[in-house]
Amino acid sequence: MTDTMIRWEQDEDGIVVLTMDDPTGSVNVLNAVFAASLDAAVARLEAERETVTGVILTSAKRSFFAGADLTVLRRTAPDRAAELARASDHLKGLLRRLETLGRPVVAAVNGAAIGGGLEVALACHHRIALDAAGSRIGLPEVTLGLLPGAGGLTRTVRMLGLHEALSSVVLTGRLFTPPQALAKGLVDEVAESAGDMFLRAREWIARTPGAAQPWDVEGYRIPGGAATSRTFNHSVVVPFSATVRNRGRGTKMDAPHHILAAAVEGTQVDIDTALAIETRYLAELACGQISSNMIKAFHFDTEHIANGGSRPEGFPAHRVRRAVVLGAGMMGAGIAYVCAAAGIDVVLKDIDGAAAERGKAYSRKILDRAVSRGQLTEDGRAAVLDRITPTDRAEDAAGADLVIEAVFEDAGLKKQVFAEIEPYLAPDAVLASNTSTLPITGLAEGVRRPEDFVGLHFFSPVDKMALLEIIVGEKTSDATLARAFDLARQIGKTPIVVGDSRGFFTSRVISTFLNEALSLIAEGAAPASVEQAGMQAGYPTAPLALFDELNMKLAQHVRRETQAAYAAEGRTLPHQAAYDVIDRMVEWGRPGRLEGAGFHDYADGERVRLWPGLADAFPADDPPVPFADMQERMLFAEALESVRCLDEGVLRSVPDANVGSILGIGFPAWTGGVLQYVNQYEGGPAGFVARAHELAARYGERFTPPASLVARAERGEVYE
């Protein structure tokens, strides 16, 4: 065969092995090369059908198939919807011809089959997955603002039923290990070796010469039924509609709605019409702005970071062997856990030995839960716990090549614990602080080797939050930065690299969001409206609820530290209306969830309702702030502060800004991140600048766009 991607090999039994091997990259993707190659392969199978007893589709790559070519999808626009629909329908037609060939077709899934890769496998009559390390199988399109549009939505609904397909696979975007995929019904068998996989495939072909897809067999019914009866609609469709609506919370996230609509409509028609319906909804999503935003953030920007875009070149890869964590509170305990889980020996030190033991118990709780869910063996649990040594003795840190300080946000205390531990460390150990606000350059004055000092800002809860913000001080060496970057990879975190300033990037920017919400309260906005504005803008947690989690006493402490730092420099920290709200809430004994009372009332630690007295404490605004202005005041405050961070060198790259804002501080995912939000605003940066001037005129000069942004807009440039 002469095509450029699919090799044809036929054995003496008549079984054809089609091996996908894209010459243009390290993985197979859905692109024009694949479509042309599949077209040629299917045409030959049809022409030589009488000599073919079965087909095995597999890959020469380490993975089976990686999905769609996102470079193409990123460039889509509304005027390309028809073009995309034609390409999608053409590919689906090829897959339909393959599954209706009249010969058994087996997918030998030798590695990851993600998105379009799984969709190709679903068009085969039987799927055998190799239980390879790191292999994942699933349909994650919803996480990119898309739906599985190469037949994946239609086929999973027909395989699993509407409820199971949507609730377990498509709407979650979850990726499964091969055994998990088997349990879900996405694959039919799991093989332990490549040889076993191909042997099973040949045996299945021999046993099933007349294989056909269930939906092509007369009398087939979708599991659970189709959405054609009143009972089905009330028991399945209506609850799903409510779930999708609640999940979207009024944001611009259209993918869940379109997935549900395409799935429900598809159950009421034949397979080919259902595939056409799927295409229609895919084209609308793929040619819209939201999917472009999310593809940029979750693929291209994330790939830039993962490929070391912010890591200094010329330094060998580094792995930490032994780490010391100073402070066994929630942050320190979480840091100890992720390090130990990554195979690092950890000394968890606290001034109190009992506190250190409690810190280790945090890991035990996480591990016990993993064992109970079947995600970890007892031996695996014991191995992680054995790597954590709780102590109150500094000398137990002997020989460690990393120390991470995670004590209270007090510069004097942080310098004190470093001075105590530094003599026991390896001579070239990385010295790191988990501070979320204090400048790294100042903290580095308390150690002997400031060139080895760096900020490692983790996010709570550490075991769940993916981001690690690496802060570079004035004297931090490139070698230290490279080692910090490698640590992030070692413990499975996504690292962004930022310059030094008070609050760095994430804490500095999220404070503008929170302060804007409190400014609205100070102006008399209805608290429920403020919460709804944040949620419907796409923030994962409403602003007042988030402030309760962070605690207003801590906010006061950070502000006083900042005021003192400003005073030392001969400056005055500008006053904000939010400060008055915080001070009054603390004065009233309502500093947050930790003390059982904040902007919300709490019972047994659970949020119950907004505090009724809040509305009485701050008289209602007249006229009220428009709801759209509430939303955009929060969004614009963060975007504008991010531009200032970029101007000041606190941000070093646009990908770091976008990914860091989504993973670290909950900037709405539909935007693609803080700087992509500027790019995608109606009218682009110029439209954003015009709207910023409107907000500045109404609500204050803090919304005045920086000169650099104005100049960028005038040049017609975006943030890349």
- The pTM (predicted TM-score) of the whole model is 0.90
Residue 2 has pLDDT above 80, yes or no: no
Closest to 198 measured CA to CA, from 23, 16, 53, 29 = 16
Q: Which residues have CB under 8 Å from 114's CB, separation 6+?
A: 63, 65, 66, 67, 136, 137, 138, 139, 140, 175
Q: Identify the CATH assignment for 6-210+223-287 out of 3.30.1020.10, 3.90.226.10, 3.40.47.10, 1.10.10.10.
A: 3.90.226.10
- Topology of domain 322-500 in CATH is Rossmann fold (3.40.50)
507-715: CATH number: 1.10.1040.50
CA distance 656 to 297: 10
Helix (H) / strand (E) containing 452:
none
pLDDT of residue 250: 60
Residue range 33-42: mean pLDDT, rounded: 95
pLDDT of residue 245: 64
pLDDT of residue 1: 40
Q: Where in the chain is the domain with CATH 3.90.226.10?
A: 6-210+223-287
From the list 257, 457, 600, 693, the catalytic residue is 457
- Provide the token pair at 192: 């332990």
Phi then psi for residue 600, to 5 deg, are -115, 155
557 is catalytic: no
Q: What is the pLDDT of residues 424-483, one digit of tens each?
A: 999 999 999 999 889 999 999 999 999 999 999 999 999 999 999 999 999 999 999 999
pLDDT of residue 123: 97
Residue 672 has pLDDT above 90, yes or no: yes
More confident position, 234 or 469: 469
Q: Where in the chain is the domain with CATH 3.40.50.720?
A: 322-500
CA distance 681 to 694: 14
Helices 577-587, 506-522: crossing angle, 10 deg rounding: 80
What DSSP character marks residue 61? Answer: S
More confident position, 680 or 70: 680
CA distance 273 to 258: 16
CA distance 682 to 687: 6
Q: Where in the chain is the domain with CATH 1.10.1040.50?
A: 507-715
Q: Round the average pLDDT of the chain to a whole number and report it.
A: 93
User: What angle (nearest 5°) sits at the alpha carbon of residue 48, between those of residues 122 and 11?
Assistant: 75
Least confident residue range of 129-133, 372-376, 385-389: 372-376
pLDDT classification of 270: cutoffs 50, 70, 90: very high
pLDDT classification of 241: cutoffs 50, 70, 90: low
pLDDT of residue 269: 94
